[in-house]
Amino acid sequence: MSKLVLSISVCLSIALGLPSAVRAAEPDAVPLPGNPATPLPGNPPAAGPDVVPVPGENSPMIIPAPDEDPEDAPEAFGSAPLPDEDTADTPTDSEAAAAPQDETREEKIDRLFAELKREPDAGKAARLAARIEREWRRSGSATVDLLMQRAAKAMSEKNTAAARDILDQTIVLAPDYAEAWNRRATLDFTTDQWGKSIADIEQTLSREPRHWGALMGLAMILERMDRKKDALETYRRVLVVYPALKSAQDAVGRLSDDLLGPAI
């Protein structure tokens, strides 16, 4: 008799559009994979174990130095290649006249570094630094230069996989080209792969020990690893080659205060 009553109740519920009785007669529902249950109003969804933050978002590795605006990228690793390098950072007439006509690329970089070390004005020093970076980016191979531009484009579009593939190919083609190692270190830096970034920074510095961009990147990683003493020493190495770099100056002052206490 009770079964008959239950059957009649279910039939009436279906006819009247009342789903509650049908659910009561069914076993507990199991949510389908990939379709989590909708949370109740006012209750935020619980964080599941498989939720992984998007690489690069809210990442401590891309927090700018304290003296920089939040929207600006840190001065680590230097600037990316530009499509029209030949028109960028063109020396003035006086700069061109001061340059020896027969100097090699290496001699030119050494001369610019000597000027950079003596220049106290931040603006003039930045111009010298840009000219050095321009020389660094000249690989001597049109193919390698094109690959570097494509890698920079992929990085700007946050296409990490494509950028890494291009940079891997570039390093195979030109293993002695410091900027290829430096750009891959930059990629690892922005995706919080600290160990890989440090390994590529070491490769960069073995080819160009004065690379202040790679040194800045290394110092920032060390600071975020709470290796403040090592970070301070690395920031000081930056100032040896680029004394007017304000972000390095501020970092040395900040870490000196943390480790030694403020000057009396």
Domains in the chain: ranges and CATH: 102-260 (1.25.40.10)
Give the three-class secondary structure for 11: helix
Cα–Cα distance for residue pair 247/235, rounded to 1 Å: 9
Cα–Cα distance for residue pair 160/151, rounded to 1 Å: 9
Please, which residues have CB within 8 angstroms of residue 5's CB and are 6 or more apart in sequence? none
pLDDT at residue 90, as a whole number: 55
pLDDT at residue 70, as a whole number: 31
> How many H helices and E strands in the chain?
12, 0
pLDDT at residue 79, as a whole number: 59
Q: What is the pTM of this model?
A: 0.67
CA dihedral sign, ordered 60, 61, 66, 71? negative
Give the three-class secondary structure for 79: coil
pLDDT at residue 91, as a whole number: 56
In this structure, what token pair is assigned to residue 106? 């290496």
Q: pLDDT truncated to tens, each residue of the chain (264 aa)?
A: 444 444 444 444 444 444 443 333 333 333 333 333 333 334 434 433 333 333 333 333 333 333 343 333 345 676 555 554 444 455 554 555 566 778 999 999 999 999 999 999 999 999 999 999 999 999 999 999 999 999 999 999 999 999 999 999 999 999 999 999 999 999 999 999 999 999 999 999 999 999 999 999 999 999 999 999 999 999 999 999 999 999 999 999 999 998 987 666
Place of tokens 């230069």: 145
pLDDT at residue 78, as a whole number: 64
